[in-house]
Amino acid sequence: MFRRVKAEEEHRLVHLDRDRALVEAALRDPAAFDALYRKYLAQVYSYAYYELGSHHDAEDAAERTFLLALGALSRFEERARPVDGEGASTFRVWLFRIARNVVANIQRGRRRHPVAPLDYAAIVADPLDLEGDVSRRQEAGAAWAAVGRLPPERRRALVLRFVEEMSTAEIAGVLGRSEGAVRVLIHRGLRAVARDLGGRRW
């Protein structure tokens, strides 16, 4: 449930979570969870896909994440205070923290049973694009590969920023770091990608 720290903060908390109405509807009737699922499926799936590099594993992660979220919805708390910034604690952040744990669990299994590395160029290829904009695909493939070579936390921060379009406060909530630390992660990640792409002359 949403915890109200102070009465005067109530309005602010409502503002913090754009999904509050959907969450409350799902708490009253689990069938209403479908709206949250439809809204966030692609985001959770994308996050898992960038982390795991396999559609099969991304489906697995998305399925586990949403089933767990549905079962634990009554334990969702909006913990942010106004000083934490807009979006610091929302259903989306909570959902992504579950996804992050699920993905990490799958990665642990992979370390026991290693799989082939992700072929970024193949992923970007659009099967409907028969003409094939080769140079654009190569650029996209290079960008994906450069991000894939980053240390995990920098990669996650960039994916949450560019793919999921999260604010710094939201990323901080997902990764469990301060906003300042997230800014530094993103800055260093961008710098490393710039060096990588520059050096490879894409």
Partner 1 sequence: MTLEADRGEPEVEALRVDRYLESILVARERGAVAVLHDPRLDAELRATAERLSSHLVRVHPSFRFEERLARRLADAGDALRLPAAAGAGLRIPQPPVATRTGAFDPVDLLDPVRLIDDDDPFGIRARPLLIGGALTSAAISLAGAALVAWRLSRPVHPMVRAIRAAHGRAGHQGGLA
Residue type, 164: E
Closer CB to partner 1, residue 7 or residue 165?
Answer: 165
Q: How far is the CB of 146 from partner 1 (least distance, A)?
A: 9
Closer CB to partner 1, residue 7 or residue 185?
Answer: 185
Q: How far is the CB of 200 from partner 1 (least distance, A)?
A: 13
Closer CB to partner 1, residue 8 or residue 144?
Answer: 144
Closer CB to partner 1, residue 11 or residue 71?
Answer: 71
Q: How far is the CB of 55 from partner 1 (least distance, A)?
A: 8
* Three-state SS annotation for 2-68: CCCCCHHHHHHHHHHCCCHHHHHHHHHCHHHHHHHHHHHHHHHHHHHHHHHCCHHHHHHHHHHHHHH
Q: How far is the CB of 25 from partner 1 (least distance, A)?
A: 12
Angle at 111 (CA atoms; ends 121, 106), nearest 5 degrees: 80
Tokens of 12: 């602010």
CA–CA gap between residue 56 and residue 72 (Å, rounded)? 24
